[in-house]
Structure 1
Amino acid sequence: IHDALFGVIYVRYQPDTASFAWTPMDPIYLAHHVVTFVFMTSNRLVGVGQTSAITCMYYGEFTNPTFNANTIVQLAKPLFPTSPHLQLISTIIELANAILFVILRGFFFPLFGTWIPFSFFFTSNGHKINIFLRLVWTILIWGIILGSLPFVPEQMNMVIDFFSTNKEEATVSAEL
């Protein structure tokens, strides 16, 4: 909820017009965080499903340090516009973030989204959870996953662009 409130709502609010300057991805981002909140809160209220909740948090929060570092670097760029060190750090952080995002949210998280519902419906521990709740949680987990998936191609393109650009630069340098 913190990310949704301060990362989108607070940033997009236009006090002059008392409106919001939404981007096309903001509704998906906000819905993703609302669904995450509902899923994790319901786990706590019912007292079961904590493994699925903590796994969701792991996959989601694992990329958080690189997102935060990227935000800090982007805010520092106007202060040090000619710093080659800052540009290098920015490139490394953006690449690390993109790679982690693609691997975790593009690959492992969808696998998790298949494994957890399987465990809800086909294991003895899963049958301890009410069938309605298992269905709702499955939908919520896939809502969380689908909220992240639209960003995967963008991140994948960043990785591809980085390596194709650097390969071209390396080829040019080798030819000289």
Structure 2
Amino acid sequence: MLVELPAGKFSTLKFIHKYLFDEVYNFAGQIRDVNISKGNFRFAPLMYLKESLNNIDKMPQSNFNEIIEKYVEMNIAHPFREGNGRSTRIWLDHILKNEIKKVIDWEKVDKEDYLLAMERSPIKDTEIKHILNLALTDEINNHEVYMKGIDQSYNYEGYITYKTEEL
């Protein structure tokens, strides 16, 4: 489904978000129309959001470090009201798969380590790069790695009711 879509573009992230949340949120795939924050962190202000997304689209993505820097910037932008983390992790794997023929084996990424590293990433992205680099795999066509990644992504967000293998 993502094969035809351009890696690293906001248009692809919008598609992913709409696909994941179309039956959950009436704003699925739509840029947020409010300012949002989490804890003490304010995401990109609404008045600069579209400009931020245009700039992120233009960021280089030819190697692992550039891709993670782009991922961190998209997290700071937080373009949707809900579902940003789950959508951007799939978006990240799409970029990695297309650009460096690798994906993240999310089962190898500890929830607390990941969340803390992402929280600190706007200031310094070294920690998130290290954590994700350790979990890189070349099993880009392994359906099980992908599905377990979705399970782990929902776990990061506190949803553990279902596992994809049970659906």
TM-score by length of structure 2 reads: 0.27
Determine which structure has more spread, i.e. the larger CA radius of gyration.
1
**As a proportion of its length, which structure holds more helix?**
1
> TM-score scaled by structure 1?
0.26
